[in-house]
């Protein structure tokens, strides 16, 4: 295992609005049927498959707008919309990371890929952990951004926020966000239901059950911010210590969403990890 602490980065960037409508791109969009539920995803580029998994509630494919152009130069990017997010249907089941992982595996089979690299942010990172632990032959490498192996490490203030989160609190905080997300949804009236279905997953204890962390055999790059609202640095260190082939990067002065906003994370950390032998 390798341990990296990154200090002293000062990143000044102007992020241009992407010309490609990631998350609503008719040229790249596809669907997979998982038990009668349609899961939306987009593909870009050619090569070894790289699955992108976004965060819950606020997240969607477009949060990877700065990642996809970098990745598609060397890989086949498969950017998946989690259940209930954007163009993906909700279905009837309570959400779990097992269910989300099964959606990913269905899409991989549809794309004729027997294995893939995975990059996940937040809930997507947790789903990545589940995939690596429970489908070890299918995951070659894993990058987790602001994720965790279990719910025991949540900060107390994060637990309170997640417990109280619902469509009404979100509408008060950001009504335009809700309106824009509902425009993409096949069943926009179920947005609040999507949040409630996620709550069981958020507080499920061992996120990768029935597997254990020592069953993750693929190389894993764990990236977390030292000011993450949901998980403290000790959580990322704990994950690192439990996974055999893991590397850890702690980003200074970085919160939860900075993991997908800082340009050097994809260029200086993720790409070298994915392309190394």
Tally of domains within the chain: 1
Q: Which residues are bridge partners to 50 per DSSP? A: 77, 117
Residues 6+ apart with CB under 8 A from 173: none
Domain that holds residue 232: 2-11+19-275
Which residues are 150's β-sheet partners? 206
Q: pLDDT (tens digit, 9 = 90+) per residue, 239-260?
A: 999 999 999 999 999 999 999 9
Tell me the whole-structure pTM to 2 decimals: 0.92
Question: Does residue 17 carry a pLDDT above 80?
Answer: no
- Report the alpha-carbon distance of residue 276 to residue 117 in Å, rounded: 12
Nearest Cα to Cα of residue 129 among 235, 268, 6: 235
257 and 221 Cβ atoms separated by less than 8 Å: no
For the beta carbon of residue 228, count every other beta carbon within 10 angstroms. Answer: 24
The answer, yes or no, to whether residue 8 has pLDDT greater than 90, is no
**φ, ψ (nearest 5 deg) of residue 51:** -90, 130
In the structure, what pLDDT confidence band is assigned to residue 11 with cuts at 50, 70 and 90?
Answer: very low
Based on its alpha-carbon atoms, the radius of gyration of the chain, rounded to whole angstroms, reads: 17
pLDDT tens for 146-177 read: 999 999 999 999 999 999 999 999 999 999 99
Q: Is the dihedral of CA 247, 250, 118, 65 positive or negative?
A: negative
Instruction: Tell me which residue has tokens 């700065």.
Output: 66
pLDDT digits 0-9 by tens, 52-105: 999 999 999 999 999 999 999 999 999 999 999 999 999 999 899 999 999 999
- Give yes or no for a contact between 104 and 49, defined as CB atoms under 8 angstroms apart: no
pLDDT of residue 9: 35
CATH number of the domain residue 211 falls in = 3.40.50.1820
pLDDT > 90 in the chain, percent: 91
SS (H, E, C) the chain: CEEEECCCCCCCCCCCCCCCCCCCCCCCEEEEEECCEEEEEEEECCCEEEEEECCCCCCCHHHHCCCHHHHCCCEEEEEECCCCCCCCCCCCCCCCHHHHHHHHHHHHHHCCCCCEEEEEECHHHHHHHHHHHHCCCCEEEEEEECCCCECCCCCHHHHHHHHHCCHHHHHHHCHHHHHHHHHHCCCHHHHHHHHHHHHHHHCCCECCCCCCHHHCCCCEEEEEECCCCCCCHHHHHHHHHHCCCEEEEEECCCCCHHHHCCHHHHHHHHHHHHHCC
Q: Which two tokens stand for residue 151?
A: 């719910």
**Hey, what are 88's tokens?**
């993906």
Given this model, what pLDDT does residue 10 score?
33
- Give the span between the Cα atoms of 20 and 237, in whole angstroms: 37
Q: What is the mean pLDDT of residues 259-265?
A: 96
């Amino acid at each position: 295992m390798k341990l990296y602490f990154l200090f002293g980065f000062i990143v000044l960037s102007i992020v241009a609005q992407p010309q490609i409508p990631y998350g609503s791109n008719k040229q790249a969009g596809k669907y997979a049927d998982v038990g009668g539920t349609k899961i939306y995803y987009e593909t870009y580029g050619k090569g070894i498959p790289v699955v992108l998994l976004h965060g819950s509630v606020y997240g969607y494919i477009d949060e990877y707008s700065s990642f996809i152009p970098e990745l598609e130069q060397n890989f086949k990017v498969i950017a998946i919309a989690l259940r209930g997010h954007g163009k993906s249907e909700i279905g009837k089941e309570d959400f779990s990371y097992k269910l989300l992982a099964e959606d990913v595996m269905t899409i991989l089979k549809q794309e004729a890929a027997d294995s893939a690299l995975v990059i996940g942010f937040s809930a997507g990172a947790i789903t990545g952990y589940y995939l690596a632990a429970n489908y070890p032959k299918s995951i070659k490498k894993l990058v987790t951004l602001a994720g965790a192996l279990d719910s025991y490490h949540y900060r107390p203030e994060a637990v309170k926020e997640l417990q109280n989160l619902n469509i009404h609190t979100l509408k008060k905080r950001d009504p335009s966000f809700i309106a824009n997300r509902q425009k993409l949804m096949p069943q926009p009236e179920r947005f609040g239901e999507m949040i409630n279905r996620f709550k069981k997953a958020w507080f499920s204890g061992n996120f990768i059950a029935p597997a254990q962390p020592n069953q993750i055999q693929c190389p894993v790059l764990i990236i977390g911010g030292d000011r993450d609202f949901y998980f403290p640095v000790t959580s990322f260190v704990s994950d690192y210590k439990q996974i055999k082939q893991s590397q850890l990067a702690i980003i200074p002065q970085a919160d939860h969403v900075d993991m997908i906003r800082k340009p050097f994370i994809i260029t200086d950390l993720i790409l070298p990890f994915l392309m190394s032998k």
